[in-house]
Amino acid sequence: MRRNVWAALTGVVAAAAVLASAELVAVFLSAESSPLFAVGSLMIDLAPPGVKDLMISLFGTGDKAALLTLLAIVIVIGACAAGLLQYRRPPWGIVVLIAFSAIAVVAVTTREGASGFAAVPTVVGMFVGVLVLRALQQRLKRWESREEGTRKRAAAAAAVIASGVGVPVAAEVARTASPAEPRVTPGVRTGPASYERRQFLTFFIVAAAGSAIVGLGSRLMNATAAAVTSARNALVLPAPATPAPVIASGAELGITGLSPVITPAADFYRIDTALQVPQLNPDTWSLRIYGMVENEVTLSFADVLALPLIEDTVTLTCVSNEVGGDLIGNATWLGYPLRDLLARAKPTAGADMVLSKSSDGFTAGSPLEVLQDANRQSMLAVGMNGAPLPVEHGFPARLVVPGLYGYVSATKWVVEMKVTTFAEDMGYWTPRGWSALGPIKTSSRIDTPKNASGQSAGTIPIAGVAWAQHTGIAKVEVQIDGGSWAEATLADAISADTWRQWVLPWQATSGDHTIAVRATDASGYTQTPDEAPPAPNGSTGYHTIQLTVQ
């Protein structure tokens, strides 16, 4: 049993050596050739449509950490199996290690923009892993052989003594019981078996520690070698030619527990398919607009900054947001109008969609008429809340489109915009079961009081936010314990493209209570009470909380 455990652990150390070596080589080749993140991205691409929804509903913005944890568990289990197989049925453990490496090779070479050279780190790691596995297993088997010899001699000597022959004869029998095993001097702890044990353990510890140090060090170097943090920090954005409207003081109600009207960049939700945040150098970044156009357009980052930029406050929402969820945020964006970019390219007759593409291969299909809408501030954004875009939110440039869920519009790290048709092309999520069009649904949320929180009887503010991007919120109502709907007080509106705070003072009485909220938008539509999951085009239903008042 003990040998099986050690055999399994040799597989784990060998797998660690594969990853560490690959990460080290990736430092000198490219950060994107890291096999761990490539395999994770492949898992995202191959996952059935419902899996994304499940991961986000369970882990929210921690879905990527959860996926990497799951991937680590799979690697450990596979590595243990490889170690056991190599111990019992060599060379099948090496075959398993090579098979896992082959999957990683496929993953890294099929990523967006990858070449055959992207396989080099994984192939090098595979060879190192095979050598480490063989070396560990050889030492483990020598240790086992020495101990087995010792056990045979001891058993033979015990049998002779039991027969009454005598100790001297028993010692000679013990010496010759296992000729392949050198004689062990009684009382000396540095005999052959202990020597082989030390040899195995020393190599095991050095290989494990070395893999951890090299792997973690290389991962940090990979995260910083291609990092654009210094370039971002040095960037000074130009002042907008058209500033955002001043946010009235009445837009912020100032209630404890209520989401601020402007979401700080650090708190802004992040949902995308990038396990490894793309690191794009603004000096080499460019945007290409092509397809069904009269003039193909290519812009550098400097070209974009030289344009008359606009600034606007826009609320973005993820289609995976559950009723009452937090996958929504409101920020002030700086950028250039997409309608003006498209006017440069001059879309041809018949085009009805723009397929925007991220540097990591993600695509989103947006209705062309929405991007050309003169009353909608759709933009190629370069700034967020007065600063350059955070790297994780799309630096150096991303798309911001009011009124559409992010999966059909909010492409981060954008590098291409193809003018095409819905009949010809599909965005990343459409073939995975999501609607091709993604208009945001009117919705509302209770921020305070919290679900099941213990409140004292008396006046309690029930407050939250409501949104109907590019339509605007006209009314919010609150229902307590199934009674009549009471109209809440709305904060001042920033624009039809942002969420709106609301509050209803409530004279709370002791006991258990159920509180629900609904919103009516500027078109007169009141959100439906019918509950529906996010797939395929956004969740519906009233946000309801259960509350106990003391």
Tell me what pLDDT residue 165 has.
57
Domain assignment present for 241: no
Q: Are residues 313 and 458 in the same domain?
A: no
Residue 424 to residue 263: CA distance in whole angstroms:
37
Domain assignment present for 510: yes
Domain with 514, as residue range(s), is 443-549
Q: Are residues 400 and 277 in the same domain?
A: yes
Q: Are residues 341 and 319 in the same domain?
A: yes
Domain assignment present for 230: no
Domain assignment present for 148: yes
| Range 22-51 burial, b when 16+ CB lie within 10 A, else e | bbbbbbebbbbbbbbbbbbbbbbeeeeeee
Q: Are residues 38 and 176 in the same domain?
A: yes
pLDDT digits (tens, 9 = 90+) for 153-176: 777 767 766 666 555 555 554 455
Q: Are residues 118 and 177 in the same domain?
A: yes
* CATH number of the CATH domain containing 494: 2.60.40.650
Q: Are residues 377 and 487 in the same domain?
A: no
Domain assignment present for 57: yes
Q: Are residues 397 and 506 in the same domain?
A: no
Q: Are residues 56 and 122 in the same domain?
A: yes
With contact defined as beta carbons under 8 Å apart, do 42 and 145 qualify? no
Tell me what pLDDT residue 130 has.
96
Residue 129 to residue 477: CA distance in whole angstroms:
62
Q: Are residues 278 and 369 in the same domain?
A: yes
pLDDT digits (tens, 9 = 90+) for 46-74: 877 677 777 777 787 788 788 888 889 99
Q: Are residues 259 and 397 in the same domain?
A: yes
Domain assignment present for 137: yes
Tell me what pLDDT residue 317 has.
97
Domain count, the chain: 3
Q: Are residues 135 and 210 in the same domain?
A: yes
Q: How confident is the model at residue 182 (pLDDT cuts 50, 70, 90)?
A: very low
- Final residue before a domain boundary, out of 432, 451, 486: 432
Tell me what pLDDT residue 166 has.
54
Tell me what pLDDT residue 329 has.
98
Q: How confident is the model at residue 544 (pLDDT cuts 50, 70, 90)?
A: very high
Domain assignment present for 234: no
Alpha helices in 89-182 (DSSP H): 92-109, 120-162, 167-177
Tokens representing residue 194 in the block: 């202990």
Across the range 421-450, mean pLDDT stands at: 95
pLDDT digits (tens, 9 = 90+) for 185-241: 344 344 567 888 999 999 999 999 999 999 888 877 766 555 678 889 899 999 999
Tell me what pLDDT residue 335 has.
98
Burial of 261 (0-12, 13-18, 19+ CB in 10 A): buried
Domain assignment present for 243: no
* 3 state SS of 77: helix
Across the range 369-398, mean pLDDT stands at: 97
Over the chain, what is the mean pLDDT?
Answer: 90
Q: How confident is the model at residue 184 (pLDDT cuts 50, 70, 90)?
A: very low
